[in-house]
Amino acid sequence: MDRVIKIFPDIAAISRHAAAIFINAAQQAVRERGVFRVAMAGGSTPKTLYALLVSEPLRSQLPFDKMQLFFGDDRHVPPDHPDSNFRMVSENFTSKTPIKPEQVFRMKTELQDTEKAALDYEQVLKTQFALKPGELPRFDLMMLGMGNEGHTLSLFPATTALRDNGRLVVRTWVGKLYTERITCTAPVANNSAAVLFMIAGADKAPALKAVLEGPYEPDQLPAQYIKPANGKLVFLVDSAAGGMLSKDLAAV
């Protein structure tokens, strides 16, 4: 595993670096295979990145007609709900590009039965990646965030989603939020060609230090499960989130 950790002054600087990673991954994937498959992230942190990518001079560098957008996880809400990752990506990225609806593969989070929604998305991945039994999809890029308790995707501490049992996508009950979510499993993330964490805010500092420098206890800190076996792992963090890291661990 090739791990890179970089600290930047603010989210704007993180986003500029992330945009370069996104564009390079897209261009390389299209050169090699004719398609760029990316797992998009919702939440507030990627908004600045998406604004950069849909504006010049970066916009013209993206092969929009050869992109396929997927989601690493989403909340159990309708796709037009304010908390929906799909809605966030649609409003801030997809709707401002020539990407067609058939290039976007969302989780059916409006279904009451979250197990059905998880199985449906698992089948989407199997179909789109032409997977044989036992195979994992390989995203060219998976974008992730991290919570202040060390969760990533919707892999929360001490939840059944950490026991993937060979599944690509699972439903998970998050007791502290009193809600269900749908999430790709850690093995799916770990089969990606590149995984990009964008982490900002002083509230993330203790968890980030624990994830990167503490003992390996991923049931408490699920972000520790993310270790691409044959890929690159990049942490882009702001100075607040990285404030507790050892000086020799991170450098721009």
| Cis peptide bond N-terminal to 133, omega within 30 | no
| Structural domains counted in the chain | 1
Categorize the per-residue pLDDT at 247 as very low, low, confident or very high, splitting at 50, 70 and 90: confident
Is residue 151 situated within a structural domain?
Answer: yes
Range of the domain at 85: 2-238
Is residue 249 situated within a structural domain?
Answer: no
Categorize the per-residue pLDDT at 4 as very low, low, confident or very high, splitting at 50, 70 and 90: very high
Distance, in Å, from the CA atom of 64 to the CA atom of 26, rounded to the nearest integer, reads 9
pLDDT, tens only, 148-197: 999 999 999 999 999 988 999 999 999 888 899 999 999 999 999 999 99
Q: How confident is the model at residue 252, as a pLDDT? A: 41
102: domain CATH number is 3.40.50.1360
Q: Is the pLDDT of residue 249 over 70?
A: no
Mean pLDDT along residues 136-153: 97
Q: Where are the alpha helices (DSSP H) in the chain?
A: 11-33, 47-53, 85-92, 114-128, 186-190, 205-213
- Three-state secondary structure of 23-61: HHHHHHHHHHHCCEEEEECCCCCCHHHHHHHCCCCCHHH
Q: How confident is the model at residue 75, as a pLDDT? A: 95
Is residue 222 situated within a structural domain?
Answer: yes
Beta bridge partners of 67: 36
pLDDT, tens only, 203-214: 999 999 999 999
Check: CB of residue 74 under 8 Å from CB of residue 107. yes
Is residue 247 situated within a structural domain?
Answer: no
Is residue 248 situated within a structural domain?
Answer: no
Is residue 51 situated within a structural domain?
Answer: yes
CB burial of 131-160 (b: ≥16 within 10 Å; e: otherwise) equals beeeebbbbbbbbbbbbebbbbbbbbbebe
